[in-house]
Amino acid sequence: MNILTLNVGSSSLKFGIYRSSGDEPVLVVDGAVETGEGAHALHYRTADGSIQRELHLDGEAAPLPALLELPSLETIGRFDAVAHRIVHGGPWLREHCVIDRDVAARIEAASSFAPLHVPGALRWISRAHDAWPELPQVACFDTAFHHPLPDLARVLPVPHELRAKGVERFGFHGLSCESILRQLESPPERLVIAHLGSGASLTAVRNGRSVDTSMGLTPTGGIIMGTRPGDLDPGVMLFLLREQHCTNHELQELLEHRSGLRGISGLSADVRELAASDQPLAALALAQFAQSVAKQAAALAIVLGGIDLLVFTGGIGEHHAPTRQHVEQLLRPCFPGLATRVLPSQENLVMAAHAQRLLSTGQP
């Protein structure tokens, strides 16, 4: 079984091609497509070594034919399935599943929960269907790992009747969390996973189960992120609307694209650019980010009754040592024996494994 995984994030498309003969899927090719002004940059690696290509292509769908031209496809042949990362399935979709018309409609209905992610994933589902109308497609939900959360974490402090409309804590980066558990030979009882990237969240895991997490109803809440503010005094939003400083659409734009590291620094959402800058606001953005991570980790320690292990993952968590060191420095006075690890987020591998299992057994 040859499986293509498409992982649409808030700032890039990650992809993987896996081959499976019944056991664990084996990586053939993986990489990412980053979109800039007028160009797509395709980076990928194969079993033969690391290769980098930069493609200058027109049109949003241009990366798909480029993926089909990767050299490794000549050796493995056609795809048997396509698996998609779906950030939010709303209150209706809580388990990974094969996509049919009903599932696609319910994913579309969940777009308002995660407007940065779900519409993009739907576009790639449509493109994959156009390219291979006969292939099964699988939806892998970031929220599935967290379901069901304990009521203590799941229920938000709003009127009870709003829960019937789907207002509750869902939790995200679940595929990343699952990949961390797969990599830990013997996961500790009290584990905190810090997925730090353009989108960022922390999750408390007790005995392999999510019991609390920083994001809530949507992926906008929690800690500071690249362009999202995380938890923000709702009075700020009420003030902006009440005084007509922005419209509903402008408020969404502000919260999704102009806040977080970019908003604090006035410069960039990229920690590499901020770290290279000599601007005081760039340093402030990095310091606030590290402190928000440490504060959330300490809060989750209350939920777990301590921390046996803190795992850093995600683009920042894996590759930006100064941020990790700052977080650890802030936590050490309260947790002098804190153990930490850095592990890669293997969302695509988890997606391929779920697709293989679903298509082989039909069981969620």
Reply yes or no on whether the pLDDT at 59 is more than 70. Answer: no
Rounded Cα distance between 290 and 297, Å, is 11
273 has pLDDT over 70: yes
Nearest-angstrom CA–CA distance, 8 and 34: 11
Pairing state of beta strands 209-213 and 97-98? unpaired
DSSP letter (8 states) at residue 233: -
Q: Which of 142, 270, 278, 308 is catalytic?
A: 142
Q: Looking at the predicted structure, is the pLDDT value of residue 101 above 80?
A: yes
> Is 142 considered catalytic here?
yes
Round the average pLDDT of the chain to a whole number and report it. Answer: 91
What band does 214 get if pLDDT is binned at 50, 70 and 90? very high
pLDDT recorded at residue 65? 73
What DSSP string runs through 53-82?
A: --B---STTTHHHHHHT-TTHHHH-S-SEE
Residue pLDDT, tens place only, 178-212: 999 999 989 999 999 999 999 999 999 999 999 99
> Rounded distance, CA 206 to CA 185, Å?
15
**For the chain, where do the domains classified as CATH 3.30.420.40 start and end?**
2-147, 185-342
**2-147 architecture in CATH?**
2-Layer Sandwich (3.30)
pLDDT value of position 51: 67
Tokens of 272: 């590499």
| pLDDT above 70 (res 49) | no
Name the band, by pLDDT with cuts 50, 70 and 90, for residue 349: very high
Specify burial of residue 129 (Cβ count, 10 A radius: 0-12, 13-18, 19+). Answer: middle
pTM of the prediction?
Answer: 0.94
Closest CA to 220 of 194, 249, 258: 258
pLDDT at 64 over 80: no
Selection from 314, 312, 315 nearest residue 327 by Cα: 312
Q: In terms of DSSP bridges, do strands 200-206 and 190-196 run parallel, antiparallel, or are they unpaired?
A: antiparallel
Given a cut of 90, whether residue 74 has pLDDT beyond it is no
Provide the greatest CA pair distance for the chain.
62
CATH of domain 185-342: 3.30.420.40
